Amino acid sequence: MSTAETKVASFFANAKNWREELGVLRGILCESPLTEDFKWQSPCYTFENANIATVWGFTDYCTVSFFKGVLLKDPQGILVAPGENSRSVRMVKFTSLAQIVGAKDTLHSYILEAIEAEKAGLKVTFEKDDLAYPDELESKLAEDPDFSAAFDALTPGRRRGYVLHFTQPKQSKTRASRIEKHVPRIMIGKGMHDR
């Protein structure tokens, strides 16, 4: 058994919430041409090494999320953004096993549509990201050329994630502390959630 297979098996066996529902979602995803892998502490389903979908169990619901969900037509109107800053990912929230069973055919069609989008090479086009950097980040970038180069070398999504995280606190001291905490990760090119 590979490391990924072991981690996937452990994820489903140790799920505290929604264990049965997550198992059914897994079955639906595994019936498709997707390959099961383990990334970001969760099962991830890929097509020719491209990330297509993932499953998660939260306190109030479980989900199947599509990495390029904004490209899906969503005739059933079931896809939602996971958060106000989400630009590409869309997910389907479930609060019962019956909901998942009832949505099985829809999920199959969405999975196949996501695979076709990947085969066609479709990309999500993002508007220019005009997030304002907090003063504390601007200062750190100005005073440390190595940090500035490392931050600029991050992918746009990783930079965006950090900027959103750094701007959340109201107090300058907390913003500065967050920046300092993440300097080592930024220096080696990692995003906030990379392992």
Q: What domains lie within the chain, and their CATH numbers?
A: 3-119 (3.90.1150), 135-187 (no CATH)
Q: Provide the whole-model pTM.
A: 0.69
pLDDT-based confidence at 112, cuts 50/70/90? Answer: very high
Beginning with the edge strand found earlier in the chain, give each strand of the sheet holding 35-39 in spatial order: 35-39, 42-47, 50-57, 62-66, 90-94
Q: Is the pLDDT of residue 107 over 90?
A: yes
Asked if residue 107 lies in contact with residue 117, where contact means CB atoms within 8 angstroms, the answer is: no
pLDDT value, residue 116: 92
